[in-house]
């Protein structure tokens, strides 16, 4: 994935913001989402900073952060974010499999 603009992929805006936030030790929804997807992102050669300050599982941290702001819509918001990161990794994997 070196040299590619991550913003060209669906959900790339979340990944770019999340990576930036993690680098600055800001644990935004986007940063937590990147931590959730870290194994797949690293497999795509995307460097993901670690966040030992955040308790595992990251999924719980993200859901709790969303629920604090939006108790009635936390499930929908969480699932939408997960869907976007899955779309991002799928698109990147597809791009990487092209000849």
Residue 23 lies in a domain: yes
Per-residue pLDDT of the chain (99 residues), as tens digits, is 556 799 999 999 999 999 999 999 999 999 999 999 999 999 999 999 999 999 999 999 999 999 999 999 999 999 999 999 999 999 999 987 554
Residue 42 lies in a domain: yes
pLDDT value of residue 88: 97
Closest CA to 18 of 60, 58, 64, 49: 49
CA distance 48 to 45: 9
pLDDT value of residue 2: 57
**DSSP structural state of residue 9:** S
CA distance 36 to 30: 10
Residue 33 lies in a domain: yes
With 0-12 / 13-18 / 19 or more C-beta atoms within 10 angstroms meaning exposed / middle / buried, residue 41 is buried
Asked whether the whole model's pTM tops 0.75, one would answer yes
Helix (H, G, I), strand (E, B) or coil at 98: coil
Dig out the tokens for 9 from the structure: 């992929």
Residue 1 lies in a domain: no
- Domain of residue 32 covers 6-96
Residue 46 lies in a domain: yes
Based on the structure, what is the number of domains in the chain? 1
CA distance 25 to 76: 26
């Amino acid at each position: 994935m070196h040299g590619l603009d991550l913003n060209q992929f669906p959900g790339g805006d979340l990944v770019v913001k999340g990576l930036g936030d993690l680098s600055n030790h800001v644990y935004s929804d986007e940063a937590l989402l990147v931590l959730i997807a870290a194994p797949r992102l690293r497999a795509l050669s995307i460097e993901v900073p670690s966040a030992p300050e955040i308790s595992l599982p990251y999924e719980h941290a993200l859901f709790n952060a969303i629920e604090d702001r939006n108790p009635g819509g936390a499930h929908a918001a969480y699932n939408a974010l997960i869907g976007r990161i899955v779309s991002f990794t799928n698109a990147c994997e597809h791009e990487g499999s092209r000849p």
